[in-house]
Amino acid sequence: MAIGAGIAVVGLFLPAQAHAVDAGVWPELAKTKDLTATFTQVQHRAVLKAPLTSTGTVHFSRPQDLSWVVETPSKSSFTLKNSIATMSYPELGTNDVIDLASVPDANRLATSLLVWMQADASAVDRDFTVSYSATGAVLVPKDAQLHKLIASISLTLVPDPWRVSAVSLAEPDGDRVDISFSNVVLK
């Protein structure tokens, strides 16, 4: 599975008075309309001798407008606007556009990965079993087909203002993508 193209979001706002992470986090996260951040993404894959680290920027606007731009080690981008996904690799001269509405499996994966980003409480409840801790949440897909692609999505939350500071996407084969965020700007 190519999670490396990167679908992830951080910096979603939680009120300062929140004391614990629980199911009440989703409506608070949903209040953020726009965010921008820099990221460091580390891919841990069995086929790689060493983890692959990439850096770049992410921008998310509601309802479903995502831009994930990798600057190092090589330039690439992933954008999603509604159901249209665009993947670009300038150094290779490629630019692929896919209407996810016409590819049900890809649409299901993108929708499920974005559900926590969009902080849609009913969709999170419908699609995932969620366990909460003092520092975050772990989402495990309920759907067996989706679980074959993603074992879990772990979110780390930090206060002042509350936001997602890191995401770990675990795949069933043991591969993992860890993403941390900095320079978060919320609107």
pLDDT tens-digit series, residues 10-27: 444 434 444 478 887 888
Q: Long-range contacts of range 170-173, CB-CB < 8 Å, 24 or more positions apart?
A: 171/1, 171/3, 172/147, 172/148, 173/46
In the structure, what pLDDT confidence band is assigned to residue 160 with cuts at 50, 70 and 90? Answer: low
N-term to C-term CA, the chain = 32
Q: What is the mean pLDDT of residues 45-51?
A: 96
Residues in the chain: 187
Which pLDDT score, from 0 to 100, does residue 96 have? 94
pLDDT per residue over 93-115, tens digit each?
999 999 988 988 778 777 777 77
The reported pLDDT for the residue numbered 51 is: 97
More confident residue, 184 or 7: 184
pLDDT of residue 29: 80
How would you class 89 by CB atoms within 10 Å of its CB: exposed for 0-12, middle for 13-18, buried for 19 or more?
middle
Distance set, CA 35 to CA 85, 90, 181, 183 (Å): 19, 25, 11, 10
Report the chain's mean pLDDT, rounded to a whole number: 84
Is the pLDDT score of 167 beyond 60? Answer: yes
Superfamily of structural domain 3-13+24-182: Lipoprotein localisation LolA/LolB/LppX (2.50.20.10)
For residues 167 and 63, which has the higher predicted lDDT (pLDDT)? Answer: 167
Whole-number percent of the chain with pLDDT over 70: 87
pTM given for the model = 0.83
Residue 49 neighbours by CB under 8 Å, 6+ apart: none
pLDDT of 66 over the 60 cut: yes
Helix (H) / strand (E) containing 110: helix 104-118
Give the burial class of 133: count Cβ atoms within 10 A of its Cβ; 0-12 exposed, 13-18 middle, 19 or more buried.
middle
| Cα–Cα distance for residue pair 81/106, rounded to 1 Å | 14
Task: Give the pLDDT of residue 9.
Answer: 41
pLDDT of res. 74: 93
Domain ranges of the chain: 3-13+24-182
